[in-house]
Structure 1
């Protein structure tokens, strides 16, 4: 369901559900156009969960980088992967903000090499 400038999504895996809001920007909208989608998420650097979408996402009008906070959903443009942060991290060039986890971050932080179904909440 769209409210103002966000799109609500849910991610399901291993009997867990995570909800999130994606921003109204070209990168997020390009990702939303692919949903529903199942991606394999793995841990990266004890800080984030990463997955590769089926194609590169738009980075039109994207900032040069950002400083992610716990719960942020981003695109790492140089590699083309989604990165969901479960710990705060320093500024990273090429990191595009896409949205934020609303519920279930603790469950998300535990997954590794796990298929996650992502879909828009109608």
Structure 2
């Protein structure tokens, strides 16, 4: 009888220890509106990282005045093509009353690249007919020639004031 009581006790102990060993899910930390993505994820210990977590490719846009905007790219081919062209120093141009544009050195392959369902402040897109990258600082109507590349995770309110040349650089990838 004592052996059964000990066996039941050990089983309950093992079950409760197993239930308390949940790992941190980084996807819950890295949200679109979380400005502290870089700091929060970099503070996680390596043993809490999962091998199957998607890698986020990020870059920063630095204005001549020193303002910085950080973008996270989606996993489309066009976003990868843009990322592979970095770093660049390029002229930014005004277009319309809601966007800034620049022309990357090469075209971007839009295969598997989504059309944005909502074009909001901070949306990063590629306008295929002209071959330009668009950074929106206000809402815009969806357009079948517009392909979503990603979104700004910090500094999106600074897009409107960009002028002159900008530097676009890769940031360390978040896994």
Q: TM-score, normalised by structure 2?
A: 0.63
Once the two structures are superposed, the pairs formed by residues 33-112 of structure 1 within 5 Å of their partners are: 33-63=84-114, 65-66=115-116, 67-112=118-163
User: Displacement of 1:105 after TM fit?
Assistant: 1.6
Moved more, 65-74 or 39-48: 65-74
Other-structure match for 2:168: 118
CA contact (8 A) 1:5 1:23 kept: no
Task: Tell me how large the CA RMSD over aligned residues is.
Answer: 1.6
Flag the structure with more relative contact order, 1 or 2, with Cα contacts below 8 A and sequence separation at least 6.
1
Structure 1: distance between partners of 2:58 and 2:162:
21
Q: TM-score, normalised by structure 1?
A: 0.89
- Aligned pair count reads 119
Runs of 4+ in 1 over 2 A off after TM superposition: none
Structure 1: distance between partners of 2:153 and 2:113:
23
Alignment gaps of 5+ in structure 2: 1-37, 39-52
Larger radius of gyration: 2
Report the structure, 1 or 2, having the larger strand content: 1
Alignment gaps of 5+ in structure 1: none
